[in-house]
A and B are shown apart, each in its own frame.
Chain A
């Protein structure tokens, strides 16, 4: 088989914020770093969609803040099943990583010459750094520029990795396909770091970019990596529903919630959160709020578009102008014909973030030698529920560590692995694509994706129960069978999006199955995982992580008790 072979010390799969950070840190130790990105580097992925907050405990806006307070908030928000060693490390390193960004030329909104820090829900003190409601694009732009400046890093854009083979102490292999011409590229790397993010695209309503299909998590699972906490998917309580707000991002409406005085009510005009939790604005974490909103809708008190209202029309115009000056929010909305001072906005609940992923240690190492992971693809940092603003800073910490230690690992690699595997897999993949393209059947990948999104929204959504999840698993198994014989892809090799869709479809089926299996096993409600049949948390049995691994054609699941090394649950 003829395929281009790229030799490198460290291969980084996924070019979002964590991947870029990993590349920068890997290049400090390694001479050749390859970064593979499925879309356009610096633009694709979810980092660019981070709208506002990036939390780090500088203590600028409130001197009482320190990493320990950040640690405590994160553990409480994660309902005590975070990995405390990882959170401790994250909260202590986050300020350094943010400053590293500043050294690369990142901009932040300032106050008295220092970073301004805003309050976010679930945090006890203001610690969210931000830039003009475009924090994500600013961070990703800065990191992408820095990566381009780094000589040792070679970026491969619009290449999707479809297969990895780990060879213990020898070189590892990864097979990629280039979107432009469906040519295979073989990467031979001494260490691999996976930073592909989560896979919230498996849900019908989601806030993530189109490429967020769980590829990395699924590839790692196939390679034998232990995953954990996969049942925890964050649902964002107040995302754009109606009117659509192009240009402001899917979570734009949350900004209304967090600033002064917005009312949140159902179709009957009842302020349901005020009744349930008077200080909900900053105390109610995303899991709690999502579940409350979902309940309103499920019990028939939702708006025509299945949402609830956020409303600031009762505030004086002056206050609105002042409060929503940040990022030109008020004026931008006016320019697209939405006057928030005159009309309430409908918002809905959408899948947002995977708290689960590969089980890693503080060096970003998985249980497979030579395979590292960082960013949203790893578990442990956020427990059962992520706090707002913790993602952008966590990916910097976990990404940099994965890159750094992957490069150190690469230094001790013995060299050549087994090429036989590569040749066999290349022919197998080529045959598979030809088979898809030769079929006369009618199941298109995009339809398969839509089906998964429906199944997952119904069975593993905000509110779950055993029977529905069993049904969902059945439907997924049927769909998987169907794709084996009926999945068809249009012929053509140049920029064929359907090949990409078909590849992503298999990952989506795999991670959906994993989510459902884990969710069925956890017989309690905790954080983002809410079960009608087990509606309460059970600290006796379930202060534990569900760890799962591929075993033959099946999944083996076990529980592992959380080590409460730094902090124990109150009560």
Chain B
């Protein structure tokens, strides 16, 4: 077990027409866990309860509904681990 808690910082381009008219960047911090996928991170206690995302199989590319764009790459959120990114 790791004693010092590492965190994973994610930034999400968000859009919420009910509150803000234009899109905005929202940053989140969640505890970093090895072998957590991007989708796991999003669903982690609902990073933000209002954050909408699709996800069904959570098993890596079976249902293919969780496609996202991460650091400029289009990928399936359940197929990629939330690793140490180059961006933040």
A and B bind = yes
Residues of A in contact with B (beta carbons under 8 Å apart): 39-40, 43-45, 48-49, 136-137, 207, 209-211, 242-250, 444, 446-447, 489-490, 492-498, 501
> Pick the contact of A494 from B17, B46, B54, B58 — CB < 8 Å?
B17
Asked if A43 and B18 make an inter-chain contact with CB atoms under 8 angstroms apart, the answer reads no
Interface presence of B87 (CB below 8 A)? no
Bound Cα distance from A495 to B49, whole angstroms: 11
Count residues of B near A (Cβ-Cβ below 8 Å).
30
Specify the chain A residue showing the minimal Cβ separation from B80: A246
Complex: how many Å from CA A48 to CA B52?
22
| Number of A-B contacts defined by CB within 8 Å | 91
Taking each of B35, B49, B52, which has the highest tally of chain A beta carbons within 10 Å of its own beta carbon? B49
A249 proximity list for chain B (CB < 8 A)? 59-60, 62
Residues of chain A lying within 8 A (CB to CB) of residue B43 = 210, 446
Choose from A211, A244, A447 the contact partner of B45 (Cβ within 8 Å).
A447
Q: Does B16 contact A (CB under 8 A)?
A: yes
Residue of B nearest to A44 (CB): B56
Q: Do B52 and A497 touch across chains, with their CB atoms under 8 A apart?
A: yes
| C-alpha spacing A495/B60, complex, angstroms | 23
> A39-B65, A494-B17 given as contacts; is B57 within 8 A of A49 (CB)?
yes
**Is there contact, CB below 8 Å, between B63 and A48?**
yes
Whether B79 sits at the interface, judged by CB under 8 Å, is: yes
**Given the complex, which residues of B lie within 8 Å of A495, measured CB to CB?**
52
CB distance from A375 to the nearest CB of B (A): 16
Assess the A48–B37 pair: CB atoms within 8 A. no
When distances are taken between beta carbons in the complex, the residues of chain B under 8 Å from A447 are 45
A246's contact among B46, B49, B61, B64, by CB below 8 Å, is which?
Answer: B61
Is the CB–CB distance between A494 and B52 below 8 Å? yes
Smallest CB–CB gap between B57 and chain A, Å? 5
Q: How far is the CA of A48 from the CA of B18 in the complex (A)?
A: 34
Q: A246-B78, A446-B45 are in contact. Are A45 and B56 (CB under 8 A)?
A: yes
Complex: A210 Cα to B4 Cα, angstroms: 31
Q: Which residues from B are CB-within-8-Å of A243?
A: 35
Q: Contact check, B49 vs A498: say whether CB atoms are below 8 A apart.
A: yes
Instruction: Report the 9 A-B pairs with minimum CB-CB distance, sorted nearest first.
Output: A246-B60, A495-B52, A490-B49, A247-B60, A43-B63, A209-B56, A244-B35, A44-B56, A246-B79
Please tell me which one of the listed residues A210, A247, A492, A497 contacts residue B58 in the complex, with CB atoms under 8 A apart. Answer: A210
| B60 proximity list for chain A (CB < 8 A) | 245-249
Q: Are B62 and A444 in contact, with the CB atoms below 8 A?
A: no
State whether the Cβ of B13 lies closer than 8 Å to any Cβ in chain A.
no
Specify which of B56, B59, B78 is in contact with A43 (CB 8 Å cutoff): B56
Contacts of B58 in A (CB 8 A): 209-210
Interface centre among B37, B62, B65, B78 (most CB of A within 10 A): B62
* In the complex, chain A residues whose CB is within 8 Å of the CB of B50: 490, 492, 496, 498
B32 in contact (CB, < 8 A): no
Judge whether B18 and A49 touch: CB under 8 Å: no
**Docked complex Cα distance between A532 and B62 (Å):** 37
Contact A492 B63 (CB under 8 A): no
- Known interface pairs A444-B46, A492-B50; 14 further A-B residue pairs with C-beta atoms within 8 A, sorted by A's residue number: A39-B56, A39-B63, A44-B56, A45-B63, A136-B62, A210-B57, A246-B37, A246-B60, A246-B80, A247-B60, A250-B59, A490-B49, A494-B18, A498-B49
